[in-house]
């Protein structure tokens, strides 16, 4: 696990960005598209190998589980322009996004 764990994501906050939970192929394409138009984003990755690969590939990424409501809150989900959850997260996405909307 990279040093700092979920604490690193808590330090990276700014309003209007897009939060990306996970960094599968779909999420990588979204991140590249956001980069192309210079739109701010933060990807949360909880797999050490994917995290290291994403950092090496130049993605803006923090180590943490994007399916945790407390972590999404800590990273500014309430002011996010959008929240992207990949197909791997579909079973958890509906209740999580419903909880975020209620806040």
Q: Which tens digits make up the pLDDT trace of 11-46? A: 555 567 898 988 888 889 999 999 999 999 999 998
Tokens of 21: 């939970």
- Tell whether pTM > 0.85: no
- The CATH topology of domain 6-101 is Rossmann fold (3.40.50)
8 A C-beta contact, residue 22 and residue 84: no
Q: What is the dihedral sign for C-alpha 14, 19, 21, 27?
A: negative
Q: Which two tokens stand for residue 101?
A: 């909307």
Extents of the domains making up the chain? 6-101
d(CA 96, CA 103): 11
């Amino acid at each position: 696990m990279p040093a700092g764990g979920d604490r690193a994501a808590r330090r990276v906050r700014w309003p209007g960005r897009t939060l990306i939970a996970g960094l599968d192929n779909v999420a990588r394409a979204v991140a590249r598209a956001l980069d192309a138009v210079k739109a701010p984003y933060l990807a949360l990755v909880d797999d050490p190998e994917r995290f290291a690969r994403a950092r090496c590939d130049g993605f803006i990424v923090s180590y943490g589980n994007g399916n945790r409501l407390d972590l999404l809150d800590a990273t500014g989900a309430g002011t996010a322009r959008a929240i992207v959850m990949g197909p791997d997260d579909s079973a958890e996405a509906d209740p999580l996004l419903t909880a975020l909307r209620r806040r």
